[in-house]
Amino acid sequence: MEQINIEGLGAVQETLIIPLAMRALDLKSKKPILGDKYAAELYERVAYDKEKFAPKKTPSYYGCLQRARYLDEELIRYARQLHASGIPFVTVNAGCGLDTRGERIAERTYGAVHFDMDFPNVIQLRRTLLGERETFIEGNLLEEAWIEALKAKITPDTHVLIAIEGVFAYLSREEIQRALRLIHTAFAGRCVVVFDALSSFWAKRSRQHDTLRHMEASFTGGIDSEEDILGLLPEAHFERKIPIVDLMAQVWWVAHLMKLTRKMRNNVQIFTFTL
């Protein structure tokens, strides 16, 4: 099988290899956490510099897998509610990379259309690997074009369930504000956004990260609580949050020790907001 080289996508874009590789490694485990067979198939088809990153069962391994599983479940939670109420909805993976969330949740979202959105060069890579799909959306999370492209594909009463995974750590607070503001302006009253955010303490320590330290990308922003988000977008409504370390503790005993330190426990949290 011919492999496709992903070098040169861009510093942040190239980090898409991290969760993909982690999910492929997970599938080989005796007791998979996510069990993403689609990710494992994609991983076999890409080539990249193994000196930059090689998947191992580090803290980020458990964090990536549990983060993905939780975001999946949050989308499914709201899909169930909307379906029961007879409300039309779609799901969106914004900053999708090579994630296969659409395939993972398809059987539990009642036939809802799933959209994958990312930078044009990442979407082109998806086309090369997966073929053309009408549900691919090219764009920049900080620009209105992707929002307009999505609006053109749905009806004005369609609710939008958006997952933003592994993206906000590379954005400043001002950029996070812009991304959320664009989404709110377009879909106010019919939107749920689920995202993970790195704390301000750890945002300053990219080179200490167990996977990112060998790559060119660096963390930028930092979100410590739901109050930070409400300060950026007062119109948002906070639903819930969970530290990723708490999720890791469900599958990895070491995370129970990590939970004892506040800075470690809150290093990354997942937030759910309705807009």
- Residue-range domains of the chain with CATH: 74-209+218-274 (3.40.50.150)
> Of the ranges 121-130, 180-189, 218-227, which one carries the lowest mean pLDDT score?
218-227
Separation between Cα atoms, residue 162 and residue 184, nearest integer Å: 11
Question: Percent of the chain, pLDDT > 90?
Answer: 72
pLDDT: which is higher, 218 or 268: 268
Question: Which residue, among 97, 115, 189, 112, has the nearest Cα to 152 in the 3D structure?
Answer: 115
117 Cβ neighbours under 8 A, 6+ residues apart: 92, 93, 94, 95, 96, 123, 136, 137, 138, 139, 141, 146, 150
User: Around Cβ 28, how many Cβ atoms within 10 Å?
Assistant: 9
Q: How many CA atoms lie within 13 A of 107 on its CB side?
A: 1
Residue that wins the pLDDT comparison between 110 and 54: 110
Which neighbouring-strand residues pair with 197?
A: 269
CA 208, CA 173: separation in Å to the nearest integer? Answer: 21
What is the percentage of the chain residues whose pLDDT exceeds 70? 88
Neighbouring residues of 99: CB distance < 8 A, sequence distance ≥ 6: 16, 19, 20, 39, 68, 93, 116, 165
- pLDDT value for 51: 66
The pLDDT score that the predictor gives to residue 211 is: 56
pLDDT of residue 260: 86
Query: Measured between alpha carbons, how far is 89 from 111 in angstroms, rounded to an integer?
Result: 10
Q: Which pLDDT belongs to residue 261?
A: 82
* Confidence at residue 212, expressed as pLDDT on a 0 to 100 scale: 46
Question: In angstroms, how far is CA 2 from the centroid of its own chain?
Answer: 28
Element (H, E) at 250: none
The predicted pLDDT at position 217 comes to 45
Task: Band the pLDDT of 264: cuts 50, 70, 90.
Answer: confident
Tens digit of each residue's pLDDT (9 = 90 or more) over 110-145: 999 999 999 999 999 999 999 999 999 999 999 999
The pLDDT mean for the chain works out to: 90
- Give the amino acid at 159: H
CA 23/CA 55 separation, integer angstroms: 9
pLDDT, tens digit (0-9, with 9 covering 90-100), for 73-91: 999 999 999 999 999 999 9
What the block records as the tokens of 73 is: 């479940």
